[in-house]
Amino acid sequence: MEEMVSIIVPVYRAGAYIAETIEMVEKQTYRNWELLLIDDCSPDNSAGIIRDMIDRRNRMNGQDIADRPEKKNFAEPEAAGRKPEAPVERIRLIRKEKNEGAARARNTGIEHARGRYIAFLDADDIWFPEKLEKELAFLKEKQAAFVFTAYEFGNEKAEGTGKIVQVPAQLTYRKALSRTVIFTSTVLLDREKISGELIRMPVVESEDTATWWKILRNGYTAYGLNEPLVIYRRPAKSLSSNKFVAMKRIWNLYRREEKLAVPVSVFCFCMWAIRATVRRI
């Protein structure tokens, strides 16, 4: 039997994308998945859109929801004292009581996940239909615990620009320090091989990069599937101001999280800057 993939999506100001995100996941050729949508107190209509889509799917599957009570974490079968019902419980909306940011939202998703495998997806990114199927086959072929894929930059409409970020076949901790080539929406992790504590994201800036480094620092190797299966949506606005923010964040990761010496930090930072520039031109 196919083992489940738990797909974790932080939801904050995602109203323009979230319906497409749900429909995109439903088109995956790998069928044994659950979708955990973590509403981080989004001020827009994201949660309402999700709830409407879940209710519509419940009705299509013949379940009467008219008397179903509203709960903040309404789609959690354990709390309701009953077993999960497929496909009703396949898509779950988990609503946080206060806004805490992407790292804690993803950690909430990890806590509620039922699958062996964890996949992260940002609401504005695009997965190709065969993303999970190909990546999971690759993970099993390599007998890996941690895999990621190549991706393509997209415009504000998530249309591919033709700029593809190639990924290395393998990535160790030392190699990862000088390149941020692992894109969050491409990652797949095996929870039977990596502990939950390592997968949990620290509450720091660039928490995703900090998480990949933490896992690799503990002796794991990340394997790259050099096939673009994800589109990274980038808005049309200038990214020049964001470059300085990224530089500050990466430097702080070297010094505060990894506690690297200044000379090592400078070397890694220079290599990172060169690769980041090449990747975006």
Which phi-psi region, left, alpha or beta, contains residue 216 (left: φ > 0; alpha: ψ -120 to 50)?
alpha
Find the range with the poorest average confidence among 27-36, 59-68, 122-131, 176-185: 59-68
136, 188 in Cβ contact below 8 A? yes
E strand spans, the chain = 5-11, 33-39, 91-95, 117-120, 126-127, 146-154, 160-165, 170-171, 188-190, 222-233
* Strands 222-233 and 126-127, sheet pairing: antiparallel
Work out the mean pLDDT of the chain and round it to a whole number.
Answer: 88
CA 88 to CA 75: how far, in whole Å?
A: 9
* Strands 146-154 and 222-233, sheet pairing: parallel
Burial of 273 from C-beta contacts in 10 A (0-12 / 13-18 / 19+): middle
pLDDT in tens, 256-274: 999 999 999 999 999 999 8
Structure tokens at 136: 């999971």
What's the whole-number mean pLDDT along residues 193-203?
A: 97
Residue 278 binned pLDDT confidence (cut-offs 50, 70, 90)? confident
171, 165 in Cβ contact below 8 A? no
Higher model confidence: residue 70 or residue 32? 32
Task: Indicate whether 158 pLDDT > 90.
Answer: no
DSSP state letter for 87: T
Task: Indicate whether 118 pLDDT > 90.
Answer: yes
61, 55 in Cβ contact below 8 A? no
Per-residue pLDDT, 59:
87
Give the residue among 110, 115, 77, 90 at the shortest CA–CA distance from 1.
Answer: 115
CA 278 to CA 67: how far, in whole Å?
A: 56
